[in-house]
Amino acid sequence: MTIHAIIGCGRVAPNHVDGFRALPGWDVAWACDRDPGRAAGFAAEFGLGRATAAVEEVLADPAVTSVSVAVDHAQHHVLTEQALLAGKHVLVEKPLALSRQDGERLVKLAEQRGLVLSVVSQHRYDPLVVSVARWLREGRLGTLLFAQVSLEASRPADYYADSYWRGTWAGEGGSALVNQGYHCLDVTRFLLGELEVKAAIAGRRRLADVIETEDTLSALLLAGPTPVTLNVTVASDTLWRTRLELTGSEGAVCFDLDHPSTLHRATEGVASAEHAEEQTADQTGPAPGIDYYGISHRRQIANFAAAVETGAPLVADARTALGMIELLEQIYGAAESART
Ligand X SMILES: NC(=O)c1ccc[n+]([C@@H]2O[C@H](COP(=O)([O-])OP(=O)(O)OC[C@H]3O[C@@H](n4cnc5c(N)ncnc54)[C@H](O)[C@@H]3O)[C@@H](O)[C@H]2O)c1
Footprint of ligand X (CB under 6 A): 7-13, 32-35, 38, 55, 70-73, 75, 93-94, 120, 122, 163, 179, 293
At a CB cut-off of 8 Å and minimum separation 6, what does 233 contact? 151, 152, 153, 176, 205, 215, 216, 217
Closest approach of ligand X to the CB of residue 305, in Å: 17
Closest approach of ligand X to the CB of residue 158, in Å: 13
Of the pair 37, 224, the CB lying nearest ligand X is at 37
- Work out the end-to-end distance of the chain between its first and last CA atoms, rounded to an integer number of angstroms: 53
Residues 229, 205, 197, CA angle at the centre, nearest 5°?
A: 25
Closest approach of ligand X to the CB of residue 277, in Å: 27
Q: Taking CB positions, which residue lies at the least distance from ligand X?
A: 10
Cα 56 versus chain centre, distance: 26
Strand duo 235-248 + 252-256: pairing: antiparallel
- Cβ atoms < 10 Å from Cβ of 201: 16
Of the pair 80, 150, the CB lying nearest ligand X is at 80
Closest approach of ligand X to the CB of residue 152, in Å: 16
Of the pair 3, 9, the CB lying nearest ligand X is at 9
Closest approach of ligand X to the CB of residue 75, in Å: 5
Closest approach of ligand X to the CB of residue 90, in Å: 13
Closest approach of ligand X to the CB of residue 175, in Å: 10
Closest approach of ligand X to the CB of residue 161, in Å: 13
Phi, psi of 246 (to 5 degrees): -115, 125
Please provide the size of the chain in residues: 340
Of the pair 179, 320, the CB lying nearest ligand X is at 179
Of the pair 6, 136, the CB lying nearest ligand X is at 6
Of the pair 94, 204, the CB lying nearest ligand X is at 94
Q: How far, in Å, CA of 203 to CA of 211, rounded?
A: 11
Of the pair 186, 204, the CB lying nearest ligand X is at 186
Of the pair 33, 102, the CB lying nearest ligand X is at 33
Q: Tell me the residue ranges of DSSP E strands in the chain.
A: 2-7, 26-32, 50-52, 64-69, 89-92, 117-119, 144-154, 196-203, 216-223, 226-233, 235-248, 252-256, 263-266
* Torsion sign, CA atoms 80, 85, 91, 96: positive
Provide the β-strand partners of residue 251: none
* Rounded-to-5 percentages of helix, strand, coil across the chain: 40, 25, 35
Q: Could you tell me if 30 and 48 are in contact, meaning their C-beta atoms sit under 8 angstroms apart?
A: yes
